[in-house]
Amino acid sequence: MKYLPLIRLLVNRELTLRYKRSVIGIGWTLLNPMLTSFVLWVVFSFTFGGRLVEGQQFAPYLMAGILLNTFFNQGTWLASESISSNSEILTKIYVPPQVFTISAAISAFINFSISLLPLAIVALISGQSLSFSLPLVAIVGGCMTLLVAGIGLMLSTLFVRFDDARNIVGVLLMIALYITPVFYPISILSKQMQTLINLNPLTSYLEVFRWAFSNNATPTFANWAYMLATSMISFAIGAIIFKRSWPRTVAML
């Protein structure tokens, strides 16, 4: 783990650059999900708000979904771009290229962690209390980091080789948003649709996250298992694919 300090520096750099460039700095990470959530809340609270299980609140339900989806989106982008955007370095100095992808995923995790603060505020305002299982959010975050790093490892070599891979990934990420119960309760869907939505790993992450944060969902054991399994499988497959395709990819940087 000679490269641990480098990972720390890379994450640090990603975060400082992100916050240095904007006028209100870190405020964006706090404000952005709040504004998005507010808009969606205005639109959907009347249609979906009343359909939640007794005791659950729509505002934190929605915002938790948006935050986790942002984490997934941003992490996938950053991790997938990490190789092509660091080609300058990778063609000159030997650094294990995976370092950049993993750092990108960790950066997204930290952004996500920061944005938990406004979520806590929204949860408290809507009359919920943060649950004792709050520390378990870290497990969700860790799993999501692995998932995103794995996807990034798979896609980053594609991003170097094919210009239009980005467009396709953009569309897929949008589809992922709609087949995850971000702004609707699963219960309003038909049985078949529910099965489909539950096959989406992100659903499990989201259920566990909502429950762990403010007891705003009821994840099953299967959700936990699915989350843990998909994160590890994604990372393992990503690492293998990356290792295999790297020799050809680096020659194209």
Q: How far is the CB of 11 from another protein (least distance, A)?
A: 12
> Maximum CA pair distance of the chain?
59
Q: How far is the CB of 223 from another protein (least distance, A)?
A: 34
Nearest of 25, 165, 129, 152 to residue 76 by alpha carbon:
152
**Helix, coil or strand: residue 136:** helix
Q: Which residues bind another protein (CB under 8 A)?
A: 2-3, 5-6, 9, 13, 16-17, 20-21, 86, 88-95, 161-165, 168, 246-248, 250-252
Cβ within 8 Å of residue 60, ≥6 positions away: 119, 122, 123, 126, 128, 210, 213, 214, 216
Q: How far is the CB of 216 from another protein (least distance, A)?
A: 39
Q: How far is the CB of 1 from another protein (least distance, A)?
A: 12
Nearest-angstrom CA–CA distance, 188 and 99: 42
Q: How far is the CB of 2 from another protein (least distance, A)?
A: 6
Q: Please, which residue, 119 or 160, has the CB nearer to another protein?
A: 160
For residue 220, the tally of other CB atoms under 10 A from its CB is 12
Q: How far is the CB of 25 from another protein (least distance, A)?
A: 13
Q: Please, which residue, 70 or 249, has the CB nearer to another protein?
A: 249
Q: 209 with 68: CB under 8 angstroms?
A: yes
For residue 11, the tally of other CB atoms under 10 A from its CB is 19
Q: Please, which residue, 176 or 250, has the CB nearer to another protein?
A: 250
Q: Please, which residue, 16 or 195, has the CB nearer to another protein?
A: 16
Nearest-angstrom CA–CA distance, 144 and 70: 11
Q: Give me the residue label for tokens 């870190």.
A: 26
Task: State the angle between helix axes of 116-125 and 27-48 in degrees (0 to 180), rounded to the nearest 10.
Answer: 40
Q: Please, which residue, 103 or 111, has the CB nearer to another protein?
A: 103
Q: 52 with 58: CB under 8 angstroms?
A: yes
Q: Please, which residue, 54 or 88, has the CB nearer to another protein?
A: 88
Q: Please, which residue, 3 or 38, has the CB nearer to another protein?
A: 3
Q: How far is the CB of 168 from another protein (least distance, A)?
A: 7
Nearest-angstrom CA–CA distance, 119 and 128: 11
